[in-house]
A = this chain, B = another copy of it.
């Protein structure tokens, strides 16, 4: 019983790693199955042993991320003060942005994925619930838009060259400070 990811050539986990890298770099639409197969050292038909369609690969690649987001919200709901809930969500999103950066880019920006998930509506529902949790009742526009800027800006900020100089703890702290500033009440 091996729960370890199998990174063997052509193994599922290696296919997913290759696909994620290419999706983040070139976009899903521009990433061909041929390209994934080449980089993974298998043939195009080899992919079809593991997956029936390209969309199945896309969803499997994003699965860990799509599970991680509701988990953050569930942890935040356990807190009793709004400030604590905000910090929990900010910290959780920052953690994801830093350590699953490729997936986060795809999730936030790829129009192919937007269309694929748009049919499900689950993503929008998660964000409505989570933002309501952070903003509380009757949020002012400034805070509302500050939150939108944070979630959208997290992609670019975590890719910034200045990030390279910082250790992991400082990265989290810096991004958290950005979020707090954007969400502070007047």
Complex Cα distance, B112 from A148, in Å, reads: 25
**Using an 8 Å CB-CB cutoff, how does the interface string of A42-54 with B read, 1 for contact, 0 for none?**
0000000000000
**A19 on the B face (CB < 8 A):** no
Number of copies: 2
Assess the A157–B152 pair: CB atoms within 8 A. Answer: yes
Assess the B30–A178 pair: CB atoms within 8 A. Answer: no
**Using an 8 Å CB-CB cutoff, how does the interface string of A136-166 with B read, 1 for contact, 0 for none?**
0000011011101111111111011011011
> How far is the CB of A88 from the nearest CB of chain B, in Å?
19
Of A7-15, A21-29, A33-41, A71-79, which stretch is located at the interface? A21-29
**A111 on the B face (CB < 8 A):** yes
Assess the B145–A163 pair: CB atoms within 8 A. Answer: yes
**Using an 8 Å CB-CB cutoff, how does the interface string of A94-116 with B read, 1 for contact, 0 for none?**
00000000000000111110010
Which residues of chain B come closer than 8 Å to A145, judged between CB atoms?
A: 157, 160, 162-163, 174-175, 178
